[in-house]
Amino acid sequence: MRTGHGDFVMLARGSGAFLPVEVAVGIENDDTIEIRDGIQEGVLVASNAQFLLDPAASLSDTLGRAHDAETALALESKSMQ
């Protein structure tokens, strides 16, 4: 999803939880967008915007918490290597 803060995907964290992750996009066509950087191949991401139907899941609130979550994600990613 494109915002005034960059391009993001919503990384599935399990139990219905999602984490916004900033990505670098590449080639786009009608139904696909190349993700060049920001997530590893094979991770699960939201493929539609239904999760935004929950008012508590507003993107601005989520992005406000993203800094702490990015730190946790980086630590998790390092432990998976």
Tens digit of each residue's pLDDT (9 = 90 or more) over 27-44: 999 888 999 999 999 999
8 Å CB contact between 39 and 9: yes
Q: Output the pTM of the full model.
A: 0.59
Tokens for 79, please give them.
């432990």
CB burial of 21-36 (b: ≥16 within 10 Å; e: otherwise) equals bbbeeeeeeeeeeebe
* Segments of the chain scoring below 70 in pLDDT: 49-81
Q: What pLDDT sits at residue 3?
A: 79
Question: All domains of the chain, ordered by start, with CATH?
Answer: 2-80 (2.40.420.20)
Q: What pLDDT sits at residue 55?
A: 43
